[in-house]
A and B are shown apart, each in its own frame.
Chain A
Amino acid sequence: SFDLTQPPSVSVSPGQTARITCSSDALSRQYTYWFQQKPGQAPVLVIYKDTERPSGIPERFSGSSSGTTVTLTISGVQAEDEADYYCQSADNSATYVFGTGTKVTVL
């Protein structure tokens, strides 16, 4: 198994850009997925396969990958984007791992 490391928190003003990183040596070989979770709700998929955005997710959400670090970027942050964000990946033996989670606060 492996660990996915995220910063515990990110604070951003409305309209600014939030960047959340997820790091592991395993990410150079596997896809990463990002989930948004608001209090009292189930997680919602916002990015899949590193950079793809599901239907219905605003364009301000984007993903990128560089070596062992993947990044979720929220451009033009809105108050409704305040939530916890988790990255997720898997290894070759179909073991799934979630990142430690990042709380995004909109100031």
Chain B
Amino acid sequence: QVQLLQSGAEVKKAGASVKVSCHVSGNTLTELSILWVRQAPGKGLEWVGHVEAENGEAIYAQKFQGRVTMTEDTSTDTAYMELSSLRSEDTAIYYCATRTAYNAFDLWGQGTMVTVSS
């Protein structure tokens, strides 16, 4: 049974960077596409980007181009999402998700709260 376990909450200063991890158990990361989504307090879901399992290519939402980097460590089956030049508007819960069936993102991590203070 595949599970996604994300790293703990982070508090960062404006201008800093944050790196959120998503550990895969029950399967190998190379078999899975990883989606990253965020949700600001009281707001809707927002696609940040994803990494396709087929070719390892990272595709980022245009809004985050130049500030986000998604990487994977296949030796530990851990995916990472790093966001730089943080601003208060980046305060949100960041989720990772993957496809285990149905060719749809049906498995989600528990979320990581990132708070950016000025």
A75 to nearest B CB, angstroms? Answer: 21
Contacts of A98 in B (CB 8 A): 37, 44-47
Contact A48 B45 (CB under 8 A): no
The answer to whether residues A86 and B44 also contact, given A43-B95, A54-B101 and a CB cut-off of 8 A, is: yes
Interface check B52, CB cutoff 8 A: yes
Contacts of A88 in B (CB 8 A): 45, 105
The residue of chain A having its C-beta at the shortest distance from the C-beta of B57 within the complex is: A94
Interface bits B52-76 vs A (CB < 8 Å: 1, else 0)? 1000000101100000000000000
Pairs A-B, 5 closest by C-beta atoms? A48-B104, A42-B108, A101-B44, A96-B47, A98-B45
Q: A49-B103, A96-B50, A100-B44 are in contact. List 5 more A-B contacts (CB 8 A).
A: A43-B97, A44-B108, A45-B104, A94-B59, A98-B46
